[in-house]
Amino acid sequence: MPGPHPAVAATRLAVRRAVADAPAGSLVLVACSGGADSLSLAAAAAFELPKQGLRAGAVVVDHGLQAGSAQVARTAADHCHALGLDPVDVIRVEVTTADGDGPEAAARAARHAAFRAALLRHDATRLLLGHTRDDQAETVLLRLARGSGTRALAGMAADGPGPLRRPFLLSVGRAQTRAACAALDLPWWDDPHNEDPRFTRVRARRALQLLQDDLGPGLTDNLVRTATLARQDADHLDALAAVEAQALGESPWHVKDLESLPDALRTRVWRLLMARAGATAADVAAVHVASLDELVTRWRGQGAVDIPGGLRVARRERLIEVAPRPVE
């Protein structure tokens, strides 16, 4: 008896690996938009999770950004029900842009808030996302264009943060998810936003295709491999930095203890020290770290450095001190 279509087998294997550590009998949710990536993921989850002693449900997020979005969400939910997923939540979110956020970031924030709410509501242990190998390559290309560091070049993590899992990230490409849906006779929805050049990721996708046409079809795999290697390096450096930050203890810190650290460690240590002092790690940008580093490496008697989170860092002789920023 012939086995499943190779693309179907690839999606199922990816899901099986992603939930290997899920507690027996627990609920695993799938984020499904109705597109080929998430629909093939939903089908794979519906097939694999019961075999692993797990329950399978789905979350469909309606961003309300396009005419007919409610119908698209209902259709995606109907597919999930037909596949045997239960529960299936359809959640309408309000996408509002904050200062400095574009529509893509705002939609992602709203979507992830809905995911967190669904995880809590159903006491689910995992939520599977349908990002593919192609999505990872596009992410790395975007971050290369922005001049990002090693951690950013590591791309999206296959696991985490928390219960989020991306089964397809390294092993399944976008063409395979379409082939899997076709083999299973699952009609998918093509989001017109995926062809709209107003969105940065769409432009990155087109640029990647042009690069592959000129440099060869291996570019996507090479970018994904770069992300994997960068993640391994970043994880190791972060672990070393955590040890050094622990050894430094609380403020004040002696300059000699900081200047003895290699640059790649010291910049990471600064972020950890600021987070421990009360800063939000995501708000401590490269420009802040560079200013902090100059207190050690290019000391010219400069003034204190203000850090998001209401902190002020100053050098006094051979000591670095952090304190709450005075109210002005």
Q: Cα–Cα distances in Å, from 301 out to 279, 280, 288, 295, 317?
A: 24, 27, 17, 8, 9
More confident residue, 317 or 29: 29
Amino acid 46: pLDDT? 98
Amino acid 104: pLDDT? 79
Domain boundaries, the chain: 6-222, 249-324
Residues 35-47 have pLDDT tens digits of: 999 999 999 999 9
Asked if residues 57 and 122 have their Cβ atoms less than 8 Å apart, the reply is yes
Amino acid 83: pLDDT? 97
Residue for token digits 């993921």?
A: 41
Going by the annotation, the residues of the binding site for ATP are 33-38
Asked if residues 93 and 63 have their Cβ atoms less than 8 Å apart, the reply is yes
Residues 48-101 have pLDDT tens digits of: 999 999 999 999 999 888 888 999 999 999 999 999 999 999 999 988 876 555
CATH of domain 6-222: 3.40.50.620
Residue 104 tokens read as 């893509």
CB atoms within 10 A of CB 28: 26
What average pLDDT score do residues 245-257 get? 95
Asked if residues 62 and 72 have their Cβ atoms less than 8 Å apart, the reply is yes
Asked if residues 188 and 36 have their Cβ atoms less than 8 Å apart, the reply is yes
Asked if residues 70 and 55 have their Cβ atoms less than 8 Å apart, the reply is no
Asked if residues 32 and 38 have their Cβ atoms less than 8 Å apart, the reply is yes
Residue 284 tokens read as 């401590």
Amino acid 98: pLDDT? 63
Amino acid 147: pLDDT? 73
What average pLDDT score do residues 108-118 get? 92
Q: Is the pLDDT of residue 281 over 80?
A: no
- Assess if CATH 3.30.420.40 describes domain 249-324: no
Q: Residue 328 — very low, low, confident or very high, per pLDDT cuts 50/70/90?
A: low
d(CA 158, CA 136): 10
Asked if residues 305 and 291 have their Cβ atoms less than 8 Å apart, the reply is yes
Average pLDDT of the chain is: 91
Going by the annotation, the residues of the binding site are 33-38
DSSP state of 83: H
21-25, 27-31, 81-85, 202-206: least confident range = 202-206
Residues 290-318 have pLDDT tens digits of: 999 999 999 999 999 999 888 999 999 99
Taking the model in full, what pTM does it have?
0.83
| DSSP 3-state of 223 | helix
**Residue 240: phi, psi to the nearest 5?**
-65, -40
